[in-house]
A = this chain, B = another copy of it.
Amino acid sequence: MLRAISNQTTMLTRSLRCQARAISTAKLPTTPSPPFPDEYPHALMRTASPGPRSIALSKELATMQHTAAVHFFVDYKASRGNYIVDVDGNRYLDVFCQIASLPIGYNHPALAAAMTDPDNLAMLTQRPCLGNLPPLEWHGLLQSTLGTIQPRGCSDYVTLMCGSCANENAFKAAFIWYMTKLRGRMTDSSSFLATVVLDGYDAGGRPPSEHDMQSSMANMSPGSPALSILSFQGGFHGRLLGCLSATHSKPIHKVDIPAFDWPVAPFPRRRYPLDAHQRANDDDEARCLSIVEDILTAHNKATTESTQIAGIIVEPIQAEGGDNYASPAFFRALRQLASDYGAAFIVDEVQTGGGSTGKFWAHDHWDLVDPPDLVTFSKKLQTGGYFAKPEFRPAEGYRIFNTWMGDPLKMIQLQAFLNTMRQDKLLATVEISGRVLLNGLQRLTEAYPGQLSNARGIGTYAAVDFATTAARDAMITKLRQRGLECGGCGDLALRFRPALIYQPKHAAECLEILDDACASSK
Known interface pairs A66-B394, A162-B403, A219-B264; A257-B76 also in contact (CB < 8 Å): no
Is A304 at the interface (CB under 8 A from chain B)?
no
**Chain B, residue nearest A138 (CB):** B61
A101 — which chain B residues lie within 8 A by C-beta? 127, 129, 403-404
Known interface pairs A101-B127, A258-B228; A73-B138 also in contact (CB < 8 Å): yes
Residue among A68, A108, A127, A176 having the largest count of chain B Cβ atoms under 10 Å = A68
Question: Does the CB pair B134–A111 fall under 8 Å?
Answer: no
**Chain B, residue nearest A241 (CB):** B242
A162 — which chain B residues lie within 8 A by C-beta? 161, 165, 402-404
Question: Does the CB pair A132–B70 fall under 8 Å?
Answer: yes
Question: Does the CB pair A134–B382 fall under 8 Å?
Answer: no
Question: Does the CB pair A127–B98 fall under 8 Å?
Answer: yes
Could you tell me the distance in whole angstroms from the C-beta of A192 to the nearest C-beta in chain B? 11
**1/0 contact string of A385-408 vs chain B (CB within 8 Å):** 000000001101111111110000
Q: Which of A133-155 contact B (CB under 8 A)?
A: 133-136, 138-139, 142-143, 146-147, 155
**1/0 contact string of A250-270 vs chain B (CB within 8 Å):** 111111111111101000000
A198 — which chain B residues lie within 8 A by C-beta? 50, 55, 58-59, 62, 67, 70
**1/0 contact string of A463-477 vs chain B (CB within 8 Å):** 000000000000000
What number of A residues sit within 8 Å (CB to CB) of B? 136
Question: Does the CB pair A135–B379 fall under 8 Å?
Answer: no
Is A75 at the interface (CB under 8 A from chain B)?
yes
A326 — which chain B residues lie within 8 A by C-beta? none
Question: Does the CB pair B397–A175 fall under 8 Å?
Answer: no
Question: Does the CB pair B217–A248 fall under 8 Å?
Answer: yes
Q: Which of A37-95 contact B (CB under 8 A)?
A: 50, 55, 57-77, 79, 84, 87
Is A484 at the interface (CB under 8 A from chain B)?
no
Could you tell me the distance in whole angstroms from the C-beta of A349 to the nearest C-beta in chain B? 14
Could you tell me the distance in whole angstroms from the C-beta of A111 to the nearest C-beta in chain B? 5
Complex Cα distance, B175 from A314, in Å, reads: 27
Is A342 at the interface (CB under 8 A from chain B)?
no
Is A302 at the interface (CB under 8 A from chain B)?
no
B-contacting 9-mer, from A118-126, A361-369, A428-436, A509-517: A118-126
Is A172 at the interface (CB under 8 A from chain B)?
yes
B-contacting 9-mer, from A17-25, A208-216, A500-508: A208-216
Is A288 at the interface (CB under 8 A from chain B)?
no
Is A286 at the interface (CB under 8 A from chain B)?
no
Complex Cα distance, B102 from A3, in Å, reads: 50
**1/0 contact string of A219-245 vs chain B (CB within 8 Å):** 110011111100001000011111101
Complex Cα distance, B58 from A122, in Å, reads: 21
**1/0 contact string of A311-324 vs chain B (CB within 8 Å):** 00000000000000
Question: Does the CB pair A73–B135 fall under 8 Å?
Answer: yes
Apart from the given pairs A163-B403, A217-B251, A242-B258, 6 other A-B contacts in the complex at a CB distance below 8 Å: A63-B155, A70-B134, A71-B133, A73-B138, A212-B251, A212-B255
28 A-B residue pairs with Cβ-Cβ distance under 8 Å, sorted by A, are: A57-B134, A66-B400, A69-B131, A70-B134, A72-B133, A73-B135, A79-B126, A98-B126, A98-B129, A99-B129, A101-B127, A107-B125, A111-B125, A124-B124, A165-B240, A168-B241, A172-B241, A176-B257, A180-B256, A212-B256, A216-B257, A217-B251, A218-B248, A219-B254, A220-B261, A238-B402, A239-B401, A378-B403
